[in-house]
Amino acid sequence: MEEDTPIKEILYNVIKEIPEKEIQTLFENGNHSKLIENLFEKTLPRINTISGDINEKLGILSESMSHYILTEMLIPSQRKIVYKDIEFDIIVPELSVLKNRSEDAIIIYFAKSSDIEKIQKKINELQKIQKNTKNIWVVLHNKINLSCKTYLITKNENSFSNLFTDIKKIVVDKKQDRLRIFKT
């Protein structure tokens, strides 16, 4: 299943249906979780009409939604990067940070399968580049015990919407740390 096709198209059509003012207000108030809930509510019935594995469809949807939300939140990130023959779904903030200060870079992997072995294999591959397992975050449809931080495409304590709260906190904290260094 290609990521630039039906699911992404459905998502962006749903986004166009929401008044721009409403979206701006949600981001200004830091209420991206309500937007995410709204987007899932409106896109899920539409993507269910597409044939294919639900894990793959939800992985593509959550990845596409992440691209949109990170852009709207003005969070620096890079998408679909290949480095040392390993493909990353999203890196926050960018590849150069991963190369030079890996402790400041987060890799986000969207599991498009429920196969635990396949997911773990990808995590092992990512660990070759990002040694700090705490900085590899995985978005899943179903709960799986993994050695890294996980977010579920459901409403619970580790829900997908928390991903953006956590990213924003890290980005803000890293900027504050750098500012303190320059002030001294």
Percent helix, strand, coil in the chain, to 5, is 55, 15, 30
The answer as to whether 162 is a domain residue is yes
In contact, 78 and 90? CB cutoff 8 Å: yes
What is the percentage of the chain residues whose pLDDT exceeds 90? 67
Peptide bond into 19 cis (omega under 30): no
Residue 176: pLDDT over 60:
no
C-beta neighbour count of 37 within 10 angstroms: 15
Kindly report, residue by residue over 12-68, the tens digit of the pLDDT.
999 999 999 999 898 888 788 889 999 999 999 999 999 999 999 999 999 999 999
pLDDT at 4: 57
Amino acid identity for residue 124 in this structure? N
The answer as to whether 156 is a domain residue is yes
Using the structure block, give the residue that is written with the tokens 């591959």: 125
Residue 180: pLDDT over 50:
no
Q: What is the CATH number of the domain that holds 146?
A: 3.40.91
The pTM (predicted TM-score) of the whole model is 0.88
Give one word for 106, left, alpha or beta, with left for phi > 0 and alpha for psi -120 to 50: beta
The answer as to whether 52 is a domain residue is yes
CA 140 – CA 20 distance, rounded (Å): 29
**Overall number of domains in the chain:** 1
The answer as to whether 1 is a domain residue is no
**Residues whose CB falls within 8 Å of the CB of residue 5, separated by 6 or more in sequence, listed in order:** none
Residue 177: pLDDT over 70:
no
The answer as to whether 150 is a domain residue is yes
pLDDT at 144: 87
Range of the domain at 101: 6-183
Mean pLDDT, range 138-164, rounded to an integer: 87
Kindly report, residue by residue over 75-89, the tens digit of the pLDDT.
999 999 999 999 999
